C-alpha cells in the first residue's frame, strides 16, 4: 500500500514484472507521439502521471530516464496547455505535478486547440474578400490561396470530404478562368508580393495555433503550413521559404510521405520542365483522412500485445495481485487502452469509405490529378483485433 505526504500520495515505483509491463506501455506512448508528430517524450510523461499521480520532477526523471532540462521543458508545456497542474508540497520547496485530464495527451491537445477555432475561423473568413480582390486583379497565387482558405473553412463542416464536391464544382463552373487555372493546379506558382504577405500571415497562424496537427515538431509545422498554402513544392523552394537546412527538410518530408500522404508529383502532372523532385499535398482533408487511417493501422498493431498483457495479469497468483502496480496496470489496460483503440479502429472503415467517394468524384473530373492511395487498393476495410 502506498503512503502519503501531507495528504499527497507518495510515489512508490513498480517492481519486477509490473515495471517491465509499465515500460512497454511507455514505449507505446512514445510511438503514438512519434506517429502523430507530437512530442513523444511529453506523451510518455503523460502516461507516467496517469500511473503515479502525483509526481515530482525528480521522480519523472527517474521513471523516464530523460534529462532534467528535457523534463523541465515538457512540464512547462503541459502547464501552459493546462494538461497538468503544479502543487507545492506543504512545508517543502518541492512541487508535484498532477494530471488534470484522463485522455491521451494528443486528444487533449486537440480539444484545447478546438476551443480556439472560432477566432481562427474569423481570421480566415476576414481574408477571403481580400483574396477575391486579388483574384480580380489576377495576382499570382491569389486563386490558390483562396482555395486553400476555403479548405480550412471546411473544418466547420461535419463531413469535410463530401463538402469538397460543391466547392470543386463551383470552381470548375466559374467564369473566372484565372481562378480555375490556379485553384486546382499541380504546377508551382511564383506568388505575387501581395500574396506572399498574406501567405506569411497564414503560415504564422497555422504554426502558432497548430490548427491541424497539435504539437508538431517546429520543422514539421512550418513545412506542412507551406504545403497547405502552396500545394506543390520542391526541396529547394522549401529551403528558401522556411530557411531550414536540406537535412531538416529531408527528415520532415520522409515523415509526411509516410503518414500525411504528401506525395511525389510526376512531371506529366505538374508540367514542370525541371527535373527537381516535386512534392504535393493534393487536398488538406483528403490528406488528414489518410493520416488517421495510417494512425489506426499502427495502433491496431499494439492491441494483440495489450491483450496478452491482460491475460498475463489475470493468470498471476494471488500473492502477486496485491503488489503495487497490479491494479493500476490492469485497470489501465482493461478500461483505457483497449477500449480507446477499439473505438479509434471502428472509425477506419467510415474514413476509407469517405476517401473512396472523394477519390471517385475527383478522378471523374480530373483523372490525371489524384494518385490512388494504397489503402483503397486493399479490400480490407477494418482492423482485426
d(CA 344, CA 301): 13
Strand 95-99: give its sheet, edge to edge: 55-56, 95-99, 84-88
What are the residues whose beta carbons fall under 8 Å from the beta carbon of 381, sequence distance 6 or more? Answer: 348, 349, 352, 353
Per-residue model confidence as pLDDT tens for the chain (385 residues): 344 445 566 788 999 999 999 999 999 888 887 776 667 898 899 999 999 989 999 999 999 999 999 999 999 988 987 889 999 988 889 999 998 865 544 444 444 444 456 678 888 999 999 999 999 999 999 999 999 999 988 877 777 788 888 999 999 999 999 999 999 888 899 999 999 999 999 999 888 765 554 445 678 888 989 999 999 999 999 999 999 999 999 988 988 887 777 888 877 776 777 778 899 988 888 777 777 777 777 777 788 888 899 999 999 999 999 999 999 999 888 877 777 666 666 777 777 888 888 888 888 877 666 767 666 766 444 444 3
d(CA 307, CA 8): 32
Let me know: does 295 contact 36? Beta carbons within 8 Å: yes
The CATH number assigned to the domain with range 116-282 reads 1.10.10.10
Task: Tell me the whole-structure pTM to 2 decimals.
Answer: 0.69
Among 4, 13, 8, 6, which Cα is nearest to 328's?
A: 13
Domain boundaries, given as residue ranges, for the chain: 4-104, 116-282, 289-377
Surface-to-core class of residue 174, CB atoms within 10 Å of its CB (0-12 exposed, 13-18 middle, 19+ buried): middle
Residue 270 CB neighbour total at 10 angstroms: 17
C-alpha cell belonging to residue 88:
507545492
Q: Is the peptide bond before 347 cis (omega within 30 degrees of 0)?
A: no
Domain 4-104 has CATH 1.10.10.10: yes
Amino acid at each position: 500500500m502506498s503512503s502519503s505526504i501531507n495528504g499527497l500520495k507518495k510515489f512508490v515505483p513498480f517492481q519486477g514484472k509490473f515495471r517491465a509491463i509499465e515500460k512497454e506501455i511507455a514505449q507505446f506512448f512514445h510511438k503514438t507521439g512519434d506517429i502523430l508528430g507530437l512530442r513523444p517524450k511529453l506523451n510518455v510523461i503523460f502516461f507516467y502521471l496517469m500511473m503515479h499521480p502525483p509526481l515530482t520532477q525528480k521522480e519523472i526523471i527517474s521513471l523516464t530516464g530523460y534529462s532534467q532540462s528535457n523534463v523541465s521543458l515538457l512540464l512547462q508545456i503541459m502547464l501552459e496547455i493546462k494538461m497538468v497542474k503544479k502543487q507545492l508540497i506543504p512545508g517543502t520547496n518541492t512541487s508535484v505535478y498532477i494530471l488534470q485530464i484522463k485522455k491521451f495527451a494528443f486528444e487533449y491537445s486537440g480539444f484545447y486547440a478546438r476551443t480556439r477555432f472560432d477566432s481562427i475561423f474569423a481570421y480566415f473568413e476576414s481574408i477571403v474578400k481580400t483574396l477575391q480582390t486579388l483574384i480580380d486583379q489576377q495576382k499570382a497565387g491569389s486563386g490558390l490561396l483562396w482555395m486553400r482558405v476555403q479548405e480550412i473553412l471546411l473544418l466547420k463542416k461535419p463531413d469535410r470530404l463530401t463538402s469538397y464536391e460543391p466547392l470543386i464544382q463551383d470552381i470548375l463552373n466559374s467564369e473566372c478562368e484565372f481562378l480555375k487555372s490556379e485553384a486546382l493546379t499541380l504546377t508551382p506558382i511564383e506568388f505575387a508580393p501581395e500574396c506572399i504577405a498574406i501567405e506569411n500571415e497564414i503560415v504564422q497562424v497555422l504554426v502558432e495555433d497548430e490548427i491541424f496537427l497539435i504539437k508538431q515538431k517546429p520543422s514539421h509545422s512550418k513545412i506542412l503550413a507551406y504545403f497547405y498554402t502552396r500545394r506543390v513544392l520542391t526541396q529547394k523552394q522549401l529551403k528558401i521559404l522556411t530557411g531550414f537546412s536540406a537535412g531538416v527538410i529531408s527528415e520532415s518530408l520522409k515523415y509526411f510521405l509516410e503518414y500525411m500522404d504528401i506525395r511525389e508529383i510526376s512531371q506529366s502532372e505538374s508540367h514542370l520542365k525541371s527535373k527537381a523532385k516535386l512534392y504535393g499535398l493534393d487536398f488538406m482533408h483528403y490528406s488528414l483522412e489518410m493520416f488517421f487511417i495510417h494512425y489506426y493501422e499502427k495502433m491496431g498493431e499494439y492491441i494483440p500485445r495489450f491483450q496478452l498483457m491482460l491475460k498475463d495479469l489475470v493468470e498471476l497468483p494471488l500473492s502477486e495481485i496485491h503488489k503495487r502496480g497490479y491494479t493500476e496496470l490492469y485497470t489501465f489496460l482493461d478500461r483505457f487502452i483497449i477500449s480507446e483503440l477499439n473505438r479509434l479502429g471502428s472509425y477506419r472503415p467510415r474514413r476509407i469509405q469517405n476517401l473512396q467517394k472523394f477519390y471517385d468524384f475527383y478522378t471523374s473530373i480530373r483523372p490525371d490529378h489524384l494518385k490512388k492511395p494504397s489503402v483503397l487498393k486493399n479490400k480490407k476495410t477494418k482492423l482485426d483485433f
